[in-house]
Amino acid sequence: MPQEYFHDLAEALGTMLRGDEVYTASYDGEDSDFVRFNRTRVRQAGHVVQRKLAVDLIRGRRHASGSLTLAGDLEVDRPALASMVEGLRETLGHLPEDPYLLYSTEARSGERVGENGLPEGRAAVADIQAAAGDRDLVGIYAAGGIYSGFASSLGQRNWYSSWSFNLDWSFYHEKDKAVKALYAGFDWSPVELGRKVDWASRQLDVLRRPARTVPPGRYRVYLSPAALYDIVSLLTWGGFGLKAHRTKQTPLLRMVEGDARLSPEVRLEENTREGIAPDFQEAGFLKPPRVTLIEGGGYRDCLVSPRSAGEYGVPTNGADAEESPESVDMAPGDLPRERILGLLDTGIYINNVWYLNYSDRTACRTTGMTRFATFWVEGGEIRAPLNVMRFDETIYRMLGENLVGLTSERDLILDPHTYLSRSTRSGRLPGALVDDFTLTL
């Protein structure tokens, strides 16, 4: 079992210390199925089991870090671990003291073990193919267990595990025309998959109509939860960290300094309790179940890493070194999703955005492009697909003065990135109806 093996590693690591040395160690692992689809057929299938251990060897205020990939056999991993520790020990003598070193010295141990509600891999594939039918489904299904652990020579032991799935797919039409969709969560439901496939199929039918181009200007738009998640994710690049605030590099500087606000409807949290990220971080500090970042449209709290806590003399709230939210949660509004087209009336339905970046970071102005089944709506009905357009907007207009409302329903979005390992970032967001959204070309 991964948890038992991690504890064995922690005990072995403790026997390698000398004198007043201290260690902290973080374990990350996964046991995942991956299936790649093209034309709704399985083109590649595989299973990945991987484990990694990162160790920080500490003596006084000096510390050195290293990591290694584990074989899962203590007889094989122990010599490699011992060799790494010896290398870190040699490195310590050449390093200066770290004035901002901070790690957990209270043995606050615990575990959070999720339930496995996933189907057997073949069953999930059968459900996907049955739902897609003869459409050209292109995408990746990733599912399985994700594990994290923390241990220190001071006696602390923490363990986290969760089981989730993520189907990131598109219904392809032709050339650059496709409908992109996501289905992710903890408990697989063929009924819910069918509902998402049905909505994507209806959009695919519209995508077969001649595309329309609209002139640059300002339009009423609906941002789907997936589009809003991408926009909010851009804000996490330094938007909520204490370090970025104190150095005035946060893109939300105007909000922090008090001369700009979002709509009173906007409440944004780091909701660790309902995400898939562990509830502790690499220095052993525990994360609270929730940290309120924005409340009533105003800035509330920062994410504070141990290093920033040491530098600025404030308590840490368990943020990682990047001080970036991992489990973004935006409160719902009161707009029923089934009425969105009628409320949009005449405007643009945006399913996805891409190529996002800041065009003016200090003003929190973002630029990006529409992509994957963006539609022109008239009289509350989808009339035609829209050709790709670029937009340029500030967050203060999108989620502030021009926000008409947020949907009462929300989508759970799990980050589909699998580079090196499956991502533990997630979001739970509503859709947003926005006036005077600026399309530039």
What is the reported pLDDT for 6? Answer: 96
How far lies 345's CA from each of 222, 233, 277, 418, in Å? Answer: 10, 28, 39, 39
Q: Are residues 415 and 268 in the same domain?
A: yes
- Interior angle at CA 94, CA 88 and CA 95, nearest 5: 85
pTM of the predicted protein model: 0.94
Would residue 130 count as lying in a domain?
A: no
What is the reported pLDDT for 259? Answer: 86
Could you tell me the pLDDT band of residue 183, with boundaries at 50, 70 and 90? very high
Contact present, 58 and 101 (Cβ < 8 Å)? yes
Would residue 194 count as lying in a domain?
A: no
Q: Are residues 337 and 426 in the same domain?
A: yes
Q: Are residues 162 and 230 in the same domain?
A: no
- Percent of the chain's residues with pLDDT above 90: 95
CB neighbour list of residue 126: distance below 8 Å, 6 or more residues apart: none
Q: Are residues 160 and 225 in the same domain?
A: no
Could you tell me the pLDDT band of residue 237, with boundaries at 50, 70 and 90? confident
pLDDT in tens, 269-281: 999 999 999 999 9
What is the reported pLDDT for 423? Answer: 95
Would residue 133 count as lying in a domain?
A: no
Query: What CATH number has the domain bearing residue 6?
Result: 3.30.2290.10
Mean pLDDT of 238-253: 95
pLDDT in tens, 60-117: 999 999 999 999 999 999 999 999 999 999 999 999 999 999 999 999 999 999 999 9
What totals of helices (H) and strands (E) does the chain contain, helices first? 10, 20
Q: Are residues 238 and 296 in the same domain?
A: yes
How far lies 74's CA from each of 21, 85, 87, in Å? Answer: 22, 15, 19
Would residue 199 count as lying in a domain?
A: no
Distance CA 152, CA 55 (A): 9
- The residue from 134, 167, 200 where one domain ends is 167
Could you tell me the pLDDT band of residue 186, with boundaries at 50, 70 and 90? very high
Q: Are residues 422 and 338 in the same domain?
A: yes
Mean pLDDT of 196-212: 95
What is the reported pLDDT for 103? Answer: 97
What is the reported pLDDT for 258? Answer: 81
Q: Dmax over Cα atoms in the chain, in whole Å?
A: 76
Amino acid found at 343: L
**Which residue is listed with tokens 């923390």?**
150
Q: Are residues 246 and 328 in the same domain?
A: yes
Q: Are residues 225 and 309 in the same domain?
A: yes
Would residue 188 count as lying in a domain?
A: no
Residue 253 DSSP label: H
Distance CA 312, CA 35 (A): 46
What is the reported pLDDT for 168? Answer: 96
Distance CA 101, CA 215 (A): 55
Mean pLDDT of 391-406: 97
Q: Are residues 315 and 433 in the same domain?
A: yes
Contact present, 393 and 437 (Cβ < 8 Å)? yes
Residue 288 DSSP label: P
What is the reported pLDDT for 176? Answer: 83
Would residue 390 count as lying in a domain?
A: yes
Distance CA 233, CA 255 (A): 17
Would residue 259 count as lying in a domain?
A: yes
H helices present in 208-298, as ranges: 225-235, 242-246, 253-256
**Which residue is listed with tokens 């692992």?**
29
Would residue 212 count as lying in a domain?
A: no
- pLDDT of residue 1 exceeding 90: no
Could you tell me the pLDDT band of residue 175, with boundaries at 50, 70 and 90? confident
Query: The domain containing residue 21 runs over which residues?
Result: 2-120+142-167
- Parallel, antiparallel, or unpaired: how do β-strands 390-394 and 365-371 relate? antiparallel
pLDDT in tens, 409-430: 999 999 999 989 999 999 999 9
Q: Are residues 156 and 262 in the same domain?
A: no
What is the reported pLDDT for 75? Answer: 94
pLDDT in tens, 37-55: 999 999 999 999 999 999 9
Q: Are residues 319 and 434 in the same domain?
A: yes
pLDDT in tens, 129-165: 999 999 999 999 999 999 999 999 999 999 999 999 9
Q: Are residues 274 and 394 in the same domain?
A: yes
Contact present, 411 and 226 (Cβ < 8 Å)? yes
pLDDT in tens, 285-338: 999 999 999 999 999 999 999 999 999 999 999 999 999 999 999 999 999 999
Based on the number of CB atoms within 10 Å of its own CB, is 147 exposed (0-12), middle (13-18) or buried (19 or more)? buried
Contact present, 20 and 61 (Cβ < 8 Å)? no
- pLDDT of residue 13 exceeding 90: yes
Give the chain's domain count: 2
Contact present, 50 and 182 (Cβ < 8 Å)? no
